[in-house]
Structures are given as C-alpha cells and as structure tokens.
C-alpha cells in the first residue's frame, strides 16, 4: 500500500470520527458515571444536536507529526446532513473533496484527476463508526467518557471539554483518545482533537457554524470530470 493511500485512509477514519461526534450528537448518550459535570455536558450536547438536521462550518486542521517540529496546516469547509451524509472540502493548501453517503465514501483530488471510492464497512477500524453513522448503536458502546481539564487541552474559557477513549477487546485503550471542546453558550462542538497511538495529534477547529439551513442534497453529490481516474474499494 502506498503512503498516499495510507494517508487517504487516515483522513477517512478521522473524517468519520468527526462526523459522528460533531454532527450526530443524538448518539452522544453515555452511561451514568461519577463525574456529573461531564454527564451534564454530554446531555446538553445531545439536546443541541437532536434538533440539528444539517450543519456547515469552516474548519482549520493542524496535524502534529511525532518527530517533526513543523505542523501541517490545512483549512476548508464541512457540510453535514442527516442521515449519514457529509461533504468535507479542503481548500488550502490543496483542493481535496471527501464525500460520505451512508456506507459509501469518495475522496476526490482535482490536482491528480483521481477519485478513490470505497465502502466504509470494508475499511479497517471503520465498522463501529459506520454503525454510529447509520444510527445502529450508541457512542458509549465504543468510547468511555472522561473529564478533561482546560489545561489538558487549550485554555479557553468559552469552551468546555470532554474526553473519549476507544474501547477495544472489552477494555479501554489508554494511549488513544479524542478530546472535544464544546461552546459553553450554545453547546456546539468547536474543537475536536485525535491523539493516535504513534504520537501524532490532529486538531480541528470549527467556526462560522450554521445549522438547519436546509442544505441541498446536490451538495453531497461528487461531480467529477468524465476522464477522471477512478480507484475502487481500498483494502
């Protein structure tokens, strides 16, 4: 598998995680625990997104690679519509387009005149997120909730923080986690950070959030040139 293909798969996995956390908040249902503040915040997020049929936002993404001092920066816009549709548009430094519709995903790079099409359920580590996208299960079945202090994430008094650790093989994976920063006024998610096993950290900040604007279905359709190279179903 080429490094470019591996990068695509990483992007797809992270995109799916962002979708299920930032857009499908109706599945943010956690088991009762000792931290009532974290539980209360989760309930407020759930209430907000239960009333969100579609959502769009600008984003900036920072990738911190273990062993490298200079972070990789990118930006663009994300659009989401229930159930399970997403258009993730990178505008800078290079135009890239990711479309998710149910179990299907397309990754289109105009500069390469290439589109990679895949089935989410066939991508490794994508089955649990896919179930969440389809509303077949709840987030607490795959993640454990934890309280995150502002000093552990980013000092911003407008944000409240939640941490999620993936459950694997009946236990909780201690070296991987997702950190969510939630606007304390309207409870929309403003920041998502993913900490990987290899030490890499991806942080995405959302701004200019617009909800329930009746996004057209055509926005989530991948239009591409007739001569584009199509690569089917990544392993």
Q: Which domain does 158 fall in, by range?
A: 3-232
Once rounded to an integer, what is the mean pLDDT over residues 127-145? 53
Number of structural domains (the chain) is: 1
What CATH number is given to the structural domain containing 220?
Answer: 2.50.20.10
Q: Which residue has the tokens 């931290």?
A: 35
3 has pLDDT over 50: no
What's the pLDDT tens digit per position in 104-116? 888 899 999 999 8
pLDDT at 166: 73
Report residue 15's pLDDT band, with 50, 70 and 90 as the boundaries.
Answer: low
Going by C-alpha positions, the residue among 119, 89, 113 that lies closest to residue 101 is: 119
What's the pLDDT tens digit per position in 31-66? 434 455 766 776 777 677 777 888 899 999 998 888
Once rounded to an integer, what is the mean pLDDT over residues 65-75? 89
21 has pLDDT over 60: no
pLDDT at 89: 92
Lowest mean pLDDT among 28-32, 101-105, 165-169: 28-32
pLDDT at 16: 55
- Where in 26-113 does DSSP place strands (E)? 54-64, 72-81, 85-92, 96-101, 104-109
Once rounded to an integer, what is the mean pLDDT over residues 124-149? 56
Query: What mean pLDDT, rounded, does the chain reach?
Result: 74
CB neighbour list of residue 53: distance below 8 Å, 6 or more residues apart: 81, 82, 212, 214
What's the pLDDT tens digit per position in 76-100? 999 988 887 889 899 999 999 989 8
pLDDT at 129: 46
CB neighbour list of residue 14: distance below 8 Å, 6 or more residues apart: 194, 202
Q: How many Cα atoms sit within 13 Å of 58 on the Cβ side?
A: 6
pLDDT at 216: 96
- As a whole number of angstroms, the distance between CA 176 and CA 164 comes to 9
């Amino acid at each position: 598998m080429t490094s470019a293909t591996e990068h695509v798969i990483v992007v797809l996995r992270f995109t799916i995680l962002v979708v299920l956390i930032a857009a499908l908040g109706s599945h943010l249902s956690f088991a009762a625990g000792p931290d009532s503040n974290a539980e209360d915040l989760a309930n407020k997020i759930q209430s907000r997104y239960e009333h969100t049929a579609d959502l769009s936002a600008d984003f900036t993404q920072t990738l911190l690679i273990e062993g490298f001092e200079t972070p990789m920066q990118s930006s663009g816009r994300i659009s989401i519509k229930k159930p399970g549709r997403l258009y993730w548009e990178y505008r800078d430094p290079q135009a890239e387009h990711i479309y998710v519709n149910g179990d299907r995903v397309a990754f289109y790079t105009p500069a390469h005149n290439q589109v990679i099409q895949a089935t989410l359920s066939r991508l490794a580590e994508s089955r649990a997120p896919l179930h969440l996208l389809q509303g077949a299960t709840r987030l607490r079945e795959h993640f454990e909730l934890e309280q995150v202090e502002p000093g552990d994430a980013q000092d911003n008094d407008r944000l409240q923080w939640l941490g999620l650790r993936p459950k694997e093989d009946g236990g909780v994976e201690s070296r991987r986690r997702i950190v969510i920063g939630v606007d304390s006024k309207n409870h929309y998610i403003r920041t998502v950070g993913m900490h990987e096993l290899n030490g890499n950290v991806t942080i995405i900040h959302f701004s200019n959030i617009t909800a329930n604007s009746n996004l057209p279905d055509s926005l989530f359709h991948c239009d591409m040139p007739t001569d584009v190279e199509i690569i089917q179903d990544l392993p």
